[in-house]
Amino acid sequence: MRHALAALVGLLFLAQPAPAQSASSAADSSAVNVPRWHLGLAAGVGQPVGDFKRNVNNAAGVQGHVLLRLDRYGLASLRLQGGWLNYGHESQRTCLGTAPHCRVAVNMTTTNGILSLAVGPQIAVPLGRVRAYGFGIVGISRFATLSGISGGIMPDVVAADENFGDSDLVWSGGLGLQIPVHRRSSLDIGVGYEGHGRRDYLIKGGLTDQPDGSLGFDIRRSRAALFAFRFGVTTAIGRGARPATRAP
């Protein structure tokens, strides 16, 4: 975690314009209207901390967000963010159907993950062409264990069922950098902290088939918190940026 934060601080330092160019760069940034709507998609890696780390290894998944710019320069925004982090999955070969002879063998995958959706303010600071930002969001998250046909980190939704779940409030705060790679798109690199409160959840191997045909649950309960690192792309939608009067 320390290395990741050090890398982010280093990027912030390198992104700062030279002193002689700072005033003109800031003026140039503030002289452009930013499109109101932005969409982002990122790969995410979660690093559990505290009690949660004793039960769960690192997580991986996807994260998406929508930004609504609240001013013409894009300094203040409303951020809607959702994501799925998988912290454990297992797969076994089983028979589809109850016939005495197995005509169709399939992969039965059980996945443990965190589904979240939250909203809140975001503040951006131009550093030349690069933008640093920070956000704070509040919403709801669900710790879910799903079983279904197929492989990968997410069972096939056509043939899947939730075996166990626990929903409650989540809050998150984070920092990031947007580095332009195109007139409308930027690389988005950042880190956030997620606090889910005390939760009931299953870990890998926590769902078992009993001899009588029922399911066995090894339920863990602890405070659930993690650092979420992301690397993705944010793209403007709608009308493009256009010249504007300089900010006062």
The pLDDT of 45-59, averaged and rounded, is: 94
pLDDT of residue 196 exceeding 80: yes
Pick 132 or 239 by higher pLDDT.
132
**Domain boundaries in the chain?**
2-237
For the residues 24-36, what does the mean pLDDT come to?
A: 55
pLDDT tens, position by position, 168-186: 999 999 999 999 998 899 9
Question: Is the pLDDT score of 32 beyond 60?
Answer: no
Check residues 184 and 21 and name the one with the higher pLDDT: 184
- Residue, of 170 and 108, whose pLDDT is higher: 170
Q: Mean pLDDT across the stretch 132-158?
A: 81
Enter the pTM of the model: 0.77
Q: Is the pLDDT of residue 15 over 50?
A: no
pLDDT band at 156 (very low <50, low <70, confident <90, very high): low
Task: Tell me how far apart the 2 most distant CA atoms of the chain are, in Å.
Answer: 80
Q: What pLDDT score was predicted for residue 239? A: 62
Q: Which residue has the tokens 């998988």?
A: 86
Alpha helices in the chain (DSSP H): 2-15, 19-30, 51-55
Helix spans in 16-114 (H): 19-30, 51-55
As a whole number of Å, the end-to-end CA separation of the chain is 39
SS (H, E, C) 79-94: EEEEEEEEEEEEEEEE
Hey, what are 121's tokens? 């303010």
2-237, which class in CATH?
mainly beta
